[in-house]
Structure 1
Amino acid sequence: MIIKEVTPSDFQEWFDLARELWPDYETDEMTDALTGIQQSPIESAFLLRNDQKLAIGFINLSLRYDYVPGATKRPVAYVEGVFVRADFRQQGYGRQLILHAEEWARYQGCSELASDVLLDNVASQAFHRHVGFDEAERVVSFIKSV
């Protein structure tokens, strides 16, 4: 298993995995989002390859300076997205991505790693608990046209 920072030559594999995680994104919207991560001084993305060099997962990370539920210090290292292809789950790859995120966080001078999950994504909630996250808050967001 290899986890390495996404390079321009990895972009299409990263893009394809990100589309599996976020299928509602339009192609241009996803391209812009991922390109923005690569160009940002406070974001990083890492690709996970198995022993056969197949890209099977990724983790997108950022430094957040704004309010993060449960955080006690700024900046906070933040998991913006973590994904392992369905046929490779339950084999410890997700845990390895989170361990890598913890190393990245410490390297950035952070003492906390945060993440978020949609209320109906119980599988991701279970994963986060399994890899050591504690739930900090639940939120229901509203919007109204004016």
Structure 2
Amino acid sequence: MRIEEVSEDTVEEWLPLALALWPDDSTDEMRETLDSIIQSSGQTGFLARNEGGLAVGFINLSLRSDYVPGADRTPVAYVEGIYVAPDQQQQGIGRALIERAEQWATTQGCSELASDVMLGNALGENFHNKVGFEEVERVIFFIKKIQ
């Protein structure tokens, strides 16, 4: 397995993986999001490649200076998304992506890596626990339409 930072040259390999994680986005919307990550100084992504060189997973990261539950200081390196193709899971790819995220966070002057999962996402919750994250807060958001 090989982990590499995303670039303009890898967008077309990253795109289907990102759409698998966020299927409600259109291809054009996702391509725009990925392009903005590449252009940003406060965001990055990494692709995981299997032994055959096929992109099978990714992690998107950002630096957050706003409130991050449980964080002691800012900026905080934040996992905006992590995905490993289902047929490639349980092989250490997700753990390797988190380890690479930790390295990136350290180079950005961060002492913490934060993340989140949706309530009810047991697979995501179990993964985070396995790779060393601690749960710090649960939140339910509400909205009320007024017009």
Percent pairwise identity: 58
Q: 2:68 aligns to what?
A: 68
CA drift of 1:35 comes to: 1.2
Identify which range, 23-32 or 115-124, moves more after superposition. Answer: 23-32
Within 5 Å, which residues of 2 pair with 1:31-50? 31-50=31-50
Map of 2:5 onto structure 1: 5
CA displacement at 1:61 relative to structure 2: 0.4
Report the aligned-residue RMSD: 0.7
Q: Residues 21-68 of structure 1, C-alpha deviation per residue, up to 9 Å, x if partnerless?
A: 111111222112111111111000111101110100000000000000
In 1, Cα distance between equivalents of 2:34 and 2:17:
11
Most deviating of 22-31 and 67-76: 22-31
Tell me the amino acid that sits aligned with residue 56 of structure 2.
I
* CA offsets 1:99-119 (integer angstroms, 9 cap, x no match): 000111111010000000000
Find out whether 1:14 has 2:26 as its counterpart: no
What TM-score comes out, normalization by structure 1 length? 0.98
Output the amino acid matched with 2:37. Answer: I
After the TM superposition, which of the residue ranges 26-35 and 56-65 deviates more from structure 2?
26-35
Name segments (4+ residues, structure 1) moved above 3 Å.
Answer: none
SS at match of 1:134: coil
Unaligned runs of 5+ in 2: none
Q: Secondary structure of 1:53's partner? A: coil
Gaps of 5+ in 1: none
Given the two structures, how large is their TM-score scaled by the length of structure 2?
A: 0.97
Q: Secondary structure at the match of 2:4?
A: strand
Q: Is the 8 A contact 2:8 2:35 kept in 1?
A: no
